[in-house]
Structure 1
Amino acid sequence: MSQKTIALTASGKTAAEAPLDIWERVLRISIVLGLCLIIYGTVEGRVFNPLLRAAHASDWMHVLLRPSILWMTMGSLLLGFRTLLWFRYRPFAASTPADAPTLTVIIPAYNEGAMVAQTIDSVATARYPRERLEIFVVDDGSRDDTWEHIQAAARRHPELVKTIRFAQNRGKRAALEAGFRQASGEVAVTIDSDSVIEHDTLLEIAGPFRNPRIGAVAGKVSVYNQRDGLIPRMLHVRYVLSFDVLRAVQSTYGTVYCCPGALSAYRLAVVREVLDKWVAQKFLGVPSTYGEDRAMTNFILARGYDTVYQQTAVVHTVVPLTYGKLCKMYLRWDRSYVREELRFAGLVWKRPLKSLMFSLFDNIITNLRYPVGYVVFVLLISLSLTEPRTILRVLFAIGIMSTFYMLYFLRSERSWKALYGILYSYFSFFTLFWVFPYAVLTVRARSWMTR
């Protein structure tokens, strides 16, 4: 589970980078060469020649394939753009015990059992000045022994832990609200009750708030139970790419779109400015339940603050072990994604010019992947009926692209676990393609599906 955090050196490089200069250079060269080949092959169109020939006999297929190829070309350029920003990303310097701000950690819990005790203990024993730290643990009407474990942890750390108990389940947003309203720190950190932080995480995540423009900080989420099955192993790779690549890129222009519930920090004064609206948020006339993390991020962006990523602030969180629970998690994420993307489309125009331009370029191309992706999916099914080798070409293309993406993973973690990332590409293509369309059709649903 343990993963060494990365300390900044006086030179501006990280301590982990110093002995890995050769490895870093090799990866950068490999990534740049791979990008050049992808962009060249896409722009020249040779990659798509077999598909174009197969579709030539059908006018409607030909019409649909052309814009799809255009989008794929733009996607290749977006990948190159992201890579340049990714190379520029550096984590912020951590706070020191001498300059650390007062900090309130809020841990909402529901039917978490013994795991919540591990979460509390990891926070209470983390390296942070005791006199500047408080911990609120909110039992959201649990029906198991969660409250007993919370009380036991509070007895172990009586100077730090304060407890709140709801008589009945009111939802994660209400639990977080209770913590926000009673918090006394300058910075509020939210941590899920199925997660464990590393020893220096609190000092690391407090560091960026030296900059008064920063309103929220996203921590790095890793998989706690990655040894417990194939799905956690695949998700571990996906999480590394989602945080160490995507959020790192977004951080370079001060617009991380989602500061995750598993580990995020907020300037408390800003949270209090938007708290009432966040609690009362509705979508299509229905109160919003899940997606509270991205909703809060949008509210903070709308106030004119930046949101950034701190790679060195690490939390390890429990992820689903089964396909059914994985689908439920993705359904929650995709439903909130639809809601908050629509909100972001309205507020992005108020962002600084750099953030505005980069966000528009990224979001427009990224969101087009859904209509274009499903059009291509239908085309491939149709083409495979007359040209069975199309299936083999698609499988080969998925393997090539996922292998290329593993170069990004290897920059964060030199591990054979990269192979699980390739496997995840096939797994998601064949088993998760239905989740987003279903999420769109059921976007007004409120159920957490695990409560």
Structure 2
Amino acid sequence: MSSTDGEISIAEYGSVNVRPTRFPGVSGIRRLLARVAAIAIIAFCMAMVFGLRWGNVTYYWYQPLSNLYSIAIAGFIFSRFVLSFCYRAPKDINISPTVSIIITAFNEEDAIYRTVECCYAADYAASLFDVIVVDDGSSDGTIKEIQRAQQRWPSLALIAFERNKGKREAMAAGALLAKGEILVYVDSDSFLRSDGLRKIVQGFADPRVAAVAGHTEVANVTKNSLTKMQQARYYVAFRVIKAAESVFGTVTCCPGCFSAYRRSCMMEVLEPWLGQHFLGVQATFGDDRSLTNYLLRKYRVIYSADAIATTIVPEGHKQFLKQQLRWKKSWFRETLIAATFMWKKPPLAALAFYGQLLFPIIAPLLIVRICLWLPIANGDFVSPVVYLLGTVLIGLMFSAYYLFWNSDRYWIYGLYFTLYYLIFLVWQMPYAIATQRDNRWGTR
């Protein structure tokens, strides 16, 4: 499908001209109507959720723990929306530090050439950046594709591991070879927008900033319902959650798709990060979140909504569920670690962080109690309906937020993600906690 319809075709997603869309081909009237509709949906959902949660306050002592959870999570979600509206992207003051772009690759023969191509197409002085690819022992044609890229860009540096060592080792090898003041990491299936490099470095004008998370959207969005769902989810996760965290300089994860680090700061933590162990076993996944954690102890970590890349997401449910399980395992490990120092951050940021630690862990237990125990033990069929209605309303609010900023048809898939999470993903958390010592990658 043509990108003039607000979509990125499968054939286009690796091209250097790919730009995540903002109302392309959409008339001003349609844009206005979409935003009016989004505001109406958000207002309606907020009123409904407030009405439901008022019951939690009125009848608080009948079910104090459940009501406290409901009130707290509603407050957390509303606070994310409010703070995201307070967020401002780093100002473009035209600083141009030297940059080393590091691409870590493992069996990415289909995408790696296009990834390199997008990096070299960056709107940034060629004398100020270089590109390094670290091949982590690929067994397919990735090396051949990198060598083909070297024929076009002779300055492209290659580090090739003889065997697979893991992404963390690959990231470290790139950092040790790099000479740039700023290290920009790009996944081998991600594609920078031409102005992404210039935008992401602006955040380092603040000497307190050690890392900047770029904004990522879905390259293969048109493939199926699962990829469309991830497009809506990615947008909200970045533009609401990371934006809210960025207000306090406490972004908890710089994604591997597109993030930047001050090299001097990364060198300070490189050795302990490489040697990280948890529960007696070496940490071999969650590398980006772990690195963010090491830097967050001492420095600010922010988000740049203007620095944009697209990435290829899982197109099948099996691969997607394995990815989500791996992410939950690293989330649990790193969130527990961050809990030891996040109390030092601004009070609102710390309070939100500890709430965000508890909510996903409690959620499976709460759902079992509300949707199974109460109907069976007490004949209470109202509580499950109220809970499910509240969940749908919150999902619809996130979808409407997406609609407000992107007048495309993917907005409704935010609700799809909410239901998908409720049915499938929420149950992964207990398993992720129980299998923390299993450090296999999962999707390789």
TM range (shorter): 0.7 to 0.9
d(CA) in 1 for partners of 2:32, 2:224: 34
**Post-superposition offset of 1:36:** 5.1
Partner of 1:367: 357
Bigger shift: residues 202-211 or 68-77: 68-77
Q: Aligned residue for 1:113? A: 109
Name the counterpart of 2:50. Answer: 39
Listed as ranges, the matches of 1:348-387 within 5 Å are 348-351=342-345, 354=346, 357-379=347-369, 380-385=371-376, 386-387=379-380
Task: Return the letter of the residue paired with 1:257.
Answer: T
Q: Does 1:431 align with 2:429?
A: no
Alignment counterpart, residue 226 of structure 2, candidates 215, 228, 231: 231
Q: Secondary structure at the match of 1:257?
A: coil
Cα deviation 1:194-230 (Å, max 9, x = unaligned): 1111111000101111111111000111111111122
Partner of 1:217: 212
One-letter code aligned to 2:177: Q
* SS of residue in 2 equivalent to 1:226: coil
**SS of equivalent residue, structure 1 residue 169:** coil
Tell me the SS of whatever aligns to 1:189. strand
SS of equivalent to 2:426 = coil
Q: Which residue of 1 aligns with 2:438?
A: 445
Q: Percent identity?
A: 31
- Name the structure 1 match of 2:305: 311
For residues 71 and 315 of structure 2, the distance between their equivalents in structure 1, rounded to whole angstroms, comes to 36
Residue 415 of structure 1, aligned match among 383, 405, 408: 408
Distance 1:326 1:4, change over 3 A: closer
Which runs of 5 or more residues in structure 1 are unaligned? 7-16, 53-61
Aligned to 1:336: 330
What SS does structure 2 have at the residue aligned with 1:311? strand
Change (3 A) 1:195 1:311: same
Match of 2:171 among 176, 197, 207: 176
- 232, 242, 250: which one aligns with 1:247: 242
Instruction: Tell me which amino acid in the other structure corresponds to 1:332.
Output: R
Please, what TM-score do these two structures have when normalized by structure 2? 0.88
Q: What's the secondary structure of 2:109's corresponding residue?
A: coil
Aligned match of 1:405 in 384, 398, 410?
398
Code of the residue aligned with 1:225 in structure 2: it is N
Q: 1:59 is matched with which residue?
A: none
Q: Render the CA deviation track for 1:407-440: whole Å, top value 9, x for unaligned.
A: 2212331222111111222122112232111110
**Residues 25 and 39 of structure 1: CA distance in aligned 2, closer, same or farther (over 3 Å):** same
Asked which structure has the greater RCO (Cα within 8 Å, sep 6+), the reply is: 2
RMSD: 2.5
Q: Is the 8 A contact 1:95 1:203 kept in 2?
A: no
C-alpha distance in 2 between matches for 1:396 and 1:274:
46
Question: What is the distance in 2 between the residues matched to 1:392 and 1:35?
Answer: 18
**1:64-213, aligned counterparts within 5 Å?**
65-94=63-92, 96=94, 99-159=95-155, 161-213=156-208
Asked whether the equivalents of residues 244 and 412 of structure 1 are also in contact (C-alpha less than 8 Å), the reply is no
Aligned in 2, Cα 1:5/1:432: closer, same or farther, shift over 3 Å? closer
Contact 2:102 2:174 survives alignment (8 Å): yes
Q: Distance in 2 between matches of 1:5 and 1:230?
A: 19
One-letter amino acid of the counterpart of residue 446, structure 1: N
Gaps of at least 5 residues in structure 2 are 1-7, 9-17, 23-27
TM-fit CA distance, 1:79: 2.4
Q: What's the CA shift for 1:27?
A: 5.1
Give 1:155 deviation, angstroms: 1.4
Tell whether the 8 Å contact from 1:95 to 1:204 is kept in structure 2 after alignment: no
* Deviation digits for residues 335-356 of structure 1 (CA, Å, limit 9, x no counterpart): 11111111111122444xx2xx
TM-score (norm 1): 0.87
Structure 1 counterpart of 2:11: none
Aligned residues: 419
Q: Could you give the per-residue CA deviations for residues 96-124 of structure 1, whole angstroms, max 9, x where no partner exists?
A: 3xx31100000000011121111000001
